[in-house]
Structure 1
Amino acid sequence: MKTSIIGFPRVGSLRELKFGTEKFFRNEIDRNELEKIAKELRIKNLKLEKESGLDFIPSNDFSFYDLTLDAAVLINIIPKRYKDLGLDDLQEYFAMAKGYQGENGDVKALAMKKWFNTNYHYMVPEIDDETEVKLVGTKVFDEFKEAKNEDILSKPVLIGPYTLLKKLRYVGDKKANDFSDDFIAVYKEIIERLNKLGAEWIQFDEPEIVYDLTDGDKNLFNKLYSEILKSKNNSKILIQTYFGDVRDIYLNLLELDFDAIGLDFIEGLKTKDLIDEYGFKEDKILFAGLINGKNIWRNNYKKTLETIEFLKNKNINFVLNTSCSLLHVPYTLKNESKLDNKYLEHFSFAEEKLVELKDLKELSENNYETDKKYIENQKLFNNRPDSYDKDVNNRVNNIKEEDYIRKPDFETREKIQREKFKLPLFPTTTIGSFPQTKEVRKNRSDFKNNLISEEEYIAFNKEKIKECIREQEEIGIDVLVHGEFERNDMVEYFGERLNGFLFTEKAWVQSYGTRCVKPPIIWGDVFRKNQMTVFWSKYAKSLTNKEVKGMLTGPVTILNWSFPREDIEIKEQTLQIALAIRDEVLDLEKNGINIIQVDEAALREKLPLRKSDWFKEYLAWAIPAFRLVHSGVKEDTQIHTHMCYSEFTDIIKAIDDMDADVISFEASRSDLQILDSLKENNFKTQVGPGVYDIHSPRIPSKEELVNQIKRILEKVSPEKLWINPDCGLKTRGNKEVRESLKNLLNATREVRDENNRNI
């Protein structure tokens, strides 16, 4: 049996790529130095994978920003506005990823969305009717040759034509089918060039086929590959799927001339059933995704070896593979020095998953039940210290249906709150966080490392909160925030204050571009030990006569942005967290915080990819879990929530059922596409579509924001509209935040005055 992975983390074990790229953005290093850092990281990964005994080593799984953007750039899918900047190819690439504002022009970044059901964000390539699809890049070939120079015959990885066509944003009359012939030609050329370079295997990632597929989808897929596969010559083609099963197209895959098919056995609920019912082709190789690429728990060798035996009994020629790219887990456990080994031995990051692949390969070839590695592995699943709490379980079991329902109804609350707060038309606010400067991070780090006292730490944060409140008042914002200077991360902060979480030191995971997050690990039953935010919110409220939002993270987001347990159901974990956040909501209310924001930035993230499973498997408990958080507050307490980059149009009714009073969401990069859906569904909740993109350093002009607000008003009733940026401001600088918010307020006042005159 051979082993393979789909892809490996690319930012480095200590985020070397992140820091190098950010230095490049600040002009502290040049392009040559950045490319040197990138090459060193790629070579390090290749050598690690080779030394681990991996049989199929990927190349082209590296990216400076995003693999979807890489695939588009490779074949000339570059909007004209970026080409017109006259930048070199790398600067042009980064302009597409993060926007550009300089002497060559001013352009926004491409749209950004969540990659399937993960917390990774991909860039949405944009194609118009005039785009000439052709091979212009060399990255996939260069990185294959780079691996070859290290004496590694790698498996080049590229996003497949079907998935790329489906992920594009079409600007014009042409759609996916209209570009299919161009894609066939360019992918055939890619195969031919890799063939000449000596590529034995080529991997095309096609996760898009795990969705519900229409006949038109299947026809497009079959058209693409029935032609593209004619060019494979001496190279073998692996079609790789992940994040689900391929029940709608499994038989088609068997009939097409693929040499191998990669299937997900972790999230693919029907993968094993499909093989059991329809078998597998003798002339094809199955790349069996049996190592979880999205979670950090050790593989249960017993369960995996049982599936291996199942495949052997079916006489299937298979390769042991990861379920998806290891991009979604941290790099290595070797950097973790503070967690007790009684916990660490339960975890497996990307580097350790290479060891698991090797172990399983060896165990499958021997009498594994007496093997020491197998015995030690099984002990882990019978020993979970500190994970169970009787009181938490009793509380969850005693939740009643009425606990999910807030009274009175939304329309009644809306009138009461309008009278209480007396906010102007188009009230302005921000999403929560303000810039986390070096000084802010140092204060937090010094306190954590016992370099300053608690009194000094608190005094610093109080001064920052005072500055933040004063600045918002000077700018003229209507509903203020305290800035969150005490918080490291919107999930980690709460996890540190809840029982049941574990925290790593350097287990970073890429979220997008240079942005990395360090997800907490849900180890045991969750409950709130003490108040978590009341002290800071109460202090901020004492500084102003305006309303200050209490800022919390919702249970579904805490769950989705953590590594969840695998020994109990996701629903149960979420309800435990919901009860803990509910306690904090009620304490904020008791302490005079009249507006409370409970962010559910990641609500959609764990939504099953197949619509038939949405309500049965997820929304049926995720939406009530949010309602559980706020159902106990008074009628005149206003509940806000916020959602980040995702596609919400198809779950708008479910979002309305969250029964919040106000929802803000990312809209600037998605060109306000969600607004049509709000209107069509008679969305009752007040809304704050983000009017500018905070993930780009560019400062929107007042005129640009006026136009954006007016566009929103074509779809949203004036009395329902809030004005805000599209996300928190922690990653931005003070100067750009100040200028952007001033422009936002001036634009709002202009549109507000126009509307008031027309009433």
Structure 2
Amino acid sequence: MQTHILGYPRIGSKRELKKACEQYWSGKILLEELLTTGRNICNHNWNIQKEAGIDLIPCNDFSYYDQVLDMSLIVGAIPVRYHEVALKKNNSELDLYFAMARGYQKDGLDITAMEMTKWFDTNYHYIVPEFYKNQQFTLTSDKIFNEFAGAKQAGINSKPVLIGLVSYLLLGKEKEEGFDKLDLAKNLLPVYTEILTKLQDQGAQWIQFDEPFLTLDVTEKAKETYQYVYRELRKQFPLLKFIVATYFNGLKDNASLAVSLPADVLHIDLVRNPEQLADILHTVPENLSLSLGVVDGRNIWKNDYEKSLAFIKKAIEKLGTERIFVAPSCSLLHSPCDLDFETALQPEIKNWLSFAKQKVKEVVSLKALASGTEDESILADFEDNKKAVAGRKTSSLIHNDKVKQRVAAITEEDAQRKNSFRIRKERQQESLQLPLFPTTTIGSFPQTTEVRSWRAQFKKGDLSAEQYDALLKEETQRTIRWQEEIGIDVLVHGEFERNDMVEYFGEKLEGFIFTKNGWVQSYGSRCVKPPVIFGDISRPDPMTIYWSQYAQSQTNKWVKGMLTGPVTILQWSFVRDDQPRSETCKQIALAIRDEVVDLEKAGIRIIQIDEPAIREGLPLRKAEWQNYLKWAVEAFRISASGVEDATQIHTHMCYSEFNDIIKNIADMDADVITIECSRSQMELLNAFADFKYPNEIGPGVYDIHSPRVPSKEEMIELLRKAQNVIPATQLWVNPDCGLKTRHWEETEKALIAMVAAAKEASAAYA
């Protein structure tokens, strides 16, 4: 029996990579210092796994921005518009790489970033490969070989991790018509062959191919491409050992395909789909070993050893120990780094948790226990594990009968606005008096180093509550005044009091706890610290009224109340696994509903309930969508339906494909929806046009995930495209997302251009 890890967090235990990247982008450190930070993180990660006793330790799971972008660079899938960046003599390979991720606006060049979207049903974002008819690929980067050599230097013959060729193509987007991206497999295969040849020459024995698309609904053509690719790779590399890694769901109807591929090991996710083990054991051929993903790579709860051992022993009975690998369910990229850094957590709750470093130990312990170990420390760990799992089930911290009773009493009327949108729109127009093409932003404004330092000083006690409050009021007032000056129609208060759009609310709700260093990567250098939902959820006190009322008192224009929706709070938290997610979501929805009603009572007439994660939460198989969408849409409607017709409810969604769920988006019945559209050049808007979306919509005209400043003319062109598919009377003008991560200089320039674009569009329409 062997152990392996599919991937390890790459941000560093104290977010060293985030800090180094941002310093490099701002010119504060040189390239070599950034590269040194990367090498140090790799060595640290390898040593943790080596010392724990992991048999197969991965390399090439590290990335400076995104593993899919890494693959695009490695195989030379570099869009033509970036070639000039590469030609600039002072630019390194990493400068080209970051330009693809973030855009490039210097040296006389102004180049947009590549599109970004969600990594399956996680809160991680990847950079979408761009594909063209008859595209040729070339091995362009030595990253994977350098990392393998680095691991070897550290005394580890590591297991290189590659995104499987078929999944890589399926992750991308055709940028011209008349071909299928899978047609490029024959062009791409020689580059994969060259990569494997070099790795084999370096001494690699194992290769992990990540093929998560095997757990999705795939076409017959994709199935044929899988068979072709792996048949060719096996023919050329008979001595290399292949692990095909699937995760985030079960193989289901793709099981026969997966077990037929000429691999040595098939990895399956038994956390997301434990039922698949019986089917796989029934069909697995004699030459194939199984990797059992029994430790949850996406949540922070301690593994239930007894439950996992039952799976492992069932597999051993069928296959024997020598054909079993023990592993996490997926890459530990989605887990925080190390629970040892959490010194302030309530001990009882901390004893229920496990982060990446602890999950590595769990994998090793499970192998030892399944092998019948007599090691006293392992056996003591087993007893401690049983006590922790049992203690969590019976803890008085978890359950609140009043909350459970309130959820049970929800009626259909609780999820319905008083009247239809047509009637509401008339009353809102009469009440709000907004112009054609009204402008707004999504909520947050730049959280400068100064603002963050105030929060840190306040938490340390270096600033009193009164001092902190005064500083935030000054910043809020300045932001309100500036929005008035440039002519934005619906203002926001800037959210300077908030650390994160989910964490802020979780801190004010019962049933949540918070870590100090539980960071996970969302995209690039953007890290989030998800709250932990451990128990029943309720709202003891108002959460946003104070700042919303203060901001509204500073202006005669409307200021939006800003809330995070129940589905997003659920999706972007580490969620309790002892009850259905739908039940937890309804508890959050009731808490948000209370806040919405209180905002209206406080005089706030426009309230935004952000749901960027509603698409992300979709099950990966379409057959399972409707159940999820039923309770997710209901949860949003519960949160939004307690107000009068004249109160306008907004929602925001970003980096999502809407075509397949557009009816469900309409069923949410928000008065206004704002979405990401600039990176996709308004392509996402087609879904709303084809469906004839009835409510109002703000297609983002400014990509905030890139530091480049778009011109007025660029935004006018996007608005022109929007008017081709959506009536002008339904259109709002706004950025793609919140501006928290941007700098004021670029934000001011971009929003001034945005307001000018809206005015010009309005004048042209009139």
**TM-score, reference length from structure 1:** 0.98
SS in 1 for 2:391: coil
Partner in structure 2 of residue 208 of structure 1: 213
Whether 1:187 aligns to 2:192 is yes
Whether 1:62 aligns to 2:62 is yes
The whole-number CA distance in structure 2 between the counterparts of 1:279 and 1:250 is 8
Q: Does the aligned pair in 2 maintain the 1:192–1:231 contact within 8 Å? A: no
Whether 1:241 aligns to 2:246 is yes
Letter in 2 for 1:67: Q
1:666-711 CA distance string (max 9 Å, x none): 1112232221111111111211111011011111111111111111
The whole-number CA distance in structure 1 between the counterparts of 2:237 and 2:510 is 55
SS in 2 for 1:687: strand
SS in 1 for 2:226: helix
SS in 2 for 1:202: strand
SS in 2 for 1:226: helix
Whether 1:305 aligns to 2:309 is yes
Which 10-residue stretch deviates more, 700-709 or 210-219?
A: 210-219
Q: Does the aligned pair in 1 maintain the 2:9–2:336 contact within 8 Å? A: yes
The whole-number CA distance in structure 1 between the counterparts of 2:106 and 2:539 is 48
Give the deviation of 1:621 after TM superposition.
0.4
Give the deviation of 1:130 after TM superposition.
6.1
SS in 1 for 2:686: helix
Whether 1:717 aligns to 2:727 is yes
Which 10-residue stretch deviates more, 627-636 or 384-393?
A: 384-393
Partner in structure 2 of residue 330 of structure 1: 336
Q: Does the aligned pair in 1 maintain the 2:698–2:731 contact within 8 Å? A: yes
Give the deviation of 1:367 after TM superposition.
7.3
Alignment of 1:555-574 (within 5 A): 555-574=566-585
SS in 2 for 1:148: helix
Give the deviation of 1:270 after TM superposition.
4.2
The whole-number CA distance in structure 2 between the counterparts of 1:17 and 1:132 is 32
Give the deviation of 1:104 after TM superposition.
4.1
Return the match for 1:321 from 327, 332, 356: 327
Letter in 2 for 1:625: A
Return the match for 2:763 from 742, 753, 756: 753
Call closer, same or farther: CA 1:175–1:84 in 2, change over 3 Å: farther
The whole-number CA distance in structure 1 between the counterparts of 2:507 and 2:317 is 47
Partner in structure 2 of residue 339 of structure 1: 345
1:51-73 CA distance string (max 9 Å, x none): 11000100000111001011111
The whole-number CA distance in structure 2 between the counterparts of 1:437 and 1:195 is 48
Give aligned pairs, total. 754
Whether 1:450 aligns to 2:461 is yes
Q: Does the aligned pair in 2 maintain the 1:500–1:526 contact within 8 Å? A: yes
Alignment of 1:480-491 (within 5 A): 480-491=491-502
Partner in structure 1 of residue 120 of structure 2: 116
Give the deviation of 1:273 after TM superposition.
3.5
Partner in structure 2 of residue 390 of structure 1: 401
Return the match for 1:231 from 208, 227, 236: 236
Letter in 1 for 2:608: Q
Return the match for 1:284 from 288, 296, 299: 288
Partner in structure 1 of residue 470 of structure 2: 459
Partner in structure 2 of residue 154 of structure 1: 158
The whole-number CA distance in structure 1 between the counterparts of 2:728 and 2:325 is 58
The whole-number CA distance in structure 1 between the counterparts of 2:274 and 2:217 is 14
The whole-number CA distance in structure 2 between the counterparts of 1:89 and 1:367 is 49
SS in 1 for 2:562: strand
The whole-number CA distance in structure 1 between the counterparts of 2:185 and 2:248 is 25
Alignment of 1:412-431 (within 5 A): 412-431=423-442
Whether 1:670 aligns to 2:675 is no
SS in 2 for 1:290: strand
Whether 1:50 aligns to 2:50 is yes
1:417-462 CA distance string (max 9 Å, x none): 1222121111000000011011211111222222111111111111
Whether 1:623 aligns to 2:633 is yes
Return the match for 1:552 from 556, 563, 577: 563
Partner in structure 1 of residue 104 of structure 2: 100
Which 10-residue stretch deviates more, 662-671 or 536-545?
A: 662-671
Whether 1:376 aligns to 2:384 is yes
Which 10-residue stretch deviates more, 179-188 or 737-746?
A: 179-188
Q: Does the aligned pair in 1 maintain the 2:564–2:609 contact within 8 Å? A: yes
Partner in structure 2 of residue 608 of structure 1: 619
Letter in 1 for 2:734: N
Q: Does the aligned pair in 2 maintain the 1:112–1:670 contact within 8 Å? A: no
Whether 1:29 aligns to 2:29 is yes
The whole-number CA distance in structure 1 between the counterparts of 2:127 and 2:34 is 21
The whole-number CA distance in structure 1 between the counterparts of 2:646 and 2:733 is 21
Whether 1:648 aligns to 2:658 is yes
Give the deviation of 1:728 after TM superposition.
0.4
Return the match for 1:498 from 498, 505, 509: 509
Partner in structure 1 of residue 5 of structure 2: 5
Letter in 1 for 2:501: M
The whole-number CA distance in structure 2 between the counterparts of 1:161 and 1:101 is 32
SS in 2 for 1:288: strand
Letter in 2 for 1:693: D
The whole-number CA distance in structure 2 between the counterparts of 1:497 and 1:723 is 32
The whole-number CA distance in structure 2 between the counterparts of 1:300 and 1:727 is 39
1:700-734 CA distance string (max 9 Å, x none): 11111111111111111101100000000111111
Partner in structure 2 of residue 16 of structure 1: 16
Whether 1:81 aligns to 2:91 is no
The whole-number CA distance in structure 2 between the counterparts of 1:371 and 1:224 is 44
Partner in structure 2 of residue 434 of structure 1: 445
The whole-number CA distance in structure 1 between the counterparts of 2:491 and 2:11 is 36
SS in 1 for 2:10: coil
Letter in 1 for 2:686: D
SS in 2 for 1:203: strand
Gaps of 5+ in 2: none
The whole-number CA distance in structure 2 between the counterparts of 1:481 and 1:413 is 22
The whole-number CA distance in structure 1 between the counterparts of 2:140 and 2:128 is 19
Give the deviation of 1:382 after TM superposition.
2.3
Q: Does the aligned pair in 2 maintain the 1:292–1:324 contact within 8 Å? A: yes
Letter in 1 for 2:559: V
The whole-number CA distance in structure 2 between the counterparts of 1:670 and 1:228 is 34
Gaps of 5+ in 1: none
SS in 2 for 1:287: strand
Partner in structure 2 of residue 364 of structure 1: 370
Which 10-residue stretch deviates more, 672-681 or 463-472?
A: 672-681
The whole-number CA distance in structure 2 between the counterparts of 1:271 and 1:198 is 35
Letter in 2 for 1:373: D
Letter in 1 for 2:434: L
Q: Does the aligned pair in 2 maintain the 1:676–1:715 contact within 8 Å? A: yes
Q: Does the aligned pair in 1 maintain the 2:135–2:184 contact within 8 Å? A: no
The whole-number CA distance in structure 2 between the counterparts of 1:672 and 1:266 is 37
Q: Does the aligned pair in 1 maintain the 2:136–2:188 contact within 8 Å? A: no
Letter in 1 for 2:223: K
Letter in 2 for 1:322: P
Partner in structure 2 of residue 587 of structure 1: 598
